[in-house]
Amino acid sequence: MPQATKSNTKHHNMNILLTGGAGYIGSHTLIELDKAGHSVVVVDNFYNSQPEAIRRVEKIIGHEVTLIEADIRDREAMDKVFTEHKIDAVINFAGLKAVGESVAKPLTYYETNMNGVFVLVDVMQKHGCKNIIFSSSATVYGDPAIIPITEECPKGICTNPYGWTKSMLEQVLSDKQKIKKNTGPVLPEKYRGNHVEVRDLSVYEDAMERSTANG
């Protein structure tokens, strides 16, 4: 089994909380973060994933991964994660993601996706963590005004509950960042690509995922 090679680039190594880290995008992100020299704590409730994904990543990177089975809506569990691991930044991939299922189970999607981020951000604030990458979706564009979709494309009217959870959470995080004067992002310059500069929270969007048509 080939092993990932760590980067020799000098930068500030961080303790990163990767929620939903056992999923497809999460597990690939885990490999890249490890290659970059960061310490990663994975939190996943395995609703849409399996622990086997992390075991396979461990074979690739050549060492064990700190893996915690928990739901980000569990405030006590998340508080324990931040207390024990001194988290510098969060990448959030946790949440329900099936468009069709969201139409059949709208309340489940609103409660799970939105409350999960509410709890996560609240715990982050409690522990002084000001950096989050929020994984959004192309569904926020509704019937897109521009094809192919670019970052300049305006948000549209969403056509399903899943899309609305992402769209509303973008607004929630944008509103949250306006509360206090920003003291400056913790992430180094190389990680400040597509983000909304904020006052007490630096919100980073997953531009790659938003630019896909699959949501």
Per-residue pLDDT of the chain (215 residues; tens, 9 = 90+): 455 555 444 456 899 999 999 999 999 999 999 999 999 999 999 998 999 999 999 999 999 999 999 999 999 999 999 999 999 999 999 999 999 899 999 999 999 999 999 999 999 999 999 899 888 877 788 777 878 878 788 888 888 888 999 988 988 988 888 776 444 443 343 333 333 333 233 333 333 344 333 34
List residues with catalytic annotation: 162
Residue-level pLDDT at 184: 42
* Number of domains into which the chain is organized: 1
Q: Which residue pairs, CB below 8 angstroms and at least 24 apart, start in 176-182? A: 176/121, 176/200, 176/201, 176/203, 177/201, 177/202, 177/203
Distance CA 211, CA 68 (A): 30
CATH of the domain at 116: 3.40.50.720
In a domain, 108, yes or no: yes
In a domain, 215, yes or no: no
Residue-level pLDDT at 186: 39
Contacting residues for 145 by C-beta, under 8 A, at least 6 apart: 153, 154, 156
In a domain, 143, yes or no: yes
In a domain, 70, yes or no: yes
Sheet bearing 66-69, strands edge to edge: 66-69, 39-44, 15-19, 89-92, 131-134, 202-205, 195-196
Residue-level pLDDT at 104: 96
In a domain, 6, yes or no: no
In a domain, 9, yes or no: no
In a domain, 65, yes or no: yes
In a domain, 8, yes or no: no
Domain span at residue 129? 15-210
Residue-level pLDDT at 206: 38
